[in-house]
Amino acid sequence: MSSAYKILILGASYGSLLGAKIALAGHDVKLVCLPEEVKLINSEGAKVRMAARGVEGLVELNTKNMPGHLSADGPRDVNPEDYDLIGLAMQEPQYGVPELKDLMNRIAKSGVPCMSIMNMPPLAYLRRIQSIDSAGIRDSYTDPSVWDNFDPALITLCSPDPQAFRPPEEKVNVLQVGLPTNFKAARFDSDVHTDILRNLEAGIQSIRFNVSGEEVELPVKL
């Protein structure tokens, strides 16, 4: 494997799925989330359950037992410049919350490439597409000014194809995958930044998880 990356992911619900796969590939992940989530993830790990071919029942991944390290913090406690890639995994309206908007401004200024798995494309990403009138669709966003300082070349889009949910009877650090399809990411303008995605893809592709002494291939890849 290439040297480990440091990945910052905003959002611990859907973000914990991508974060767990990245940590399982040996990289270090920081999730930005709510205080209750921070406490549980740091003490008990983020737990992701999914079906795997040839395995009866669900496989449970716990980020406490992975080659990479996954932890969580609040928006004020992270420095975007410390990371190689930033994942945007919250719902679009959440980025307008003052604490998160401040973090987004710091992310924009950091120059760190961002990959979105949001519920809608970031407005800054749409500025990469010449046929789209990004100014004309600003009203579609809760707070379009969140995206004003982002360089479109530093944002890419990843389709949020896998479907996952938090079982209501479980703690908030537990996520269950309902549809284990793959994330599909567009390239960055820069080959250097695109290589980060390709290296993550290769690492996730090579993961084999031990279930009762047998190495099994896990779904949900990049």
For the stretch 28-83, pLDDT in tens is 999 999 999 999 999 999 999 999 988 999 999 999 999 999 999 999 999 999 99
Residue 222's pLDDT is 86
Residues with Cβ within 8 Å of residue 137, at least 6 apart in sequence: 123, 126
Domain ranges of the chain: 6-217
> Above 90 in pLDDT, residue 159?
no
> Above 50 in pLDDT, residue 177?
yes
**Statement: 6-217 belongs to CATH 3.40.47.10:** no
The strand pairing partners of 175, in sequence order, are 48
Cα–Cα distances in angstroms (integers) from residue 67 to residues 20, 56, 61, 111, 121, in the given order: 10, 25, 12, 28, 31
The rounded distance, in Å, linking the Cα atoms of 196 and 104 is: 21
pLDDT band at 162 (very low <50, low <70, confident <90, very high): confident
Residue 2's pLDDT is 55
For the stretch 104-151, pLDDT in tens is 999 999 999 999 999 899 999 999 999 999 999 999 999 999 999 999
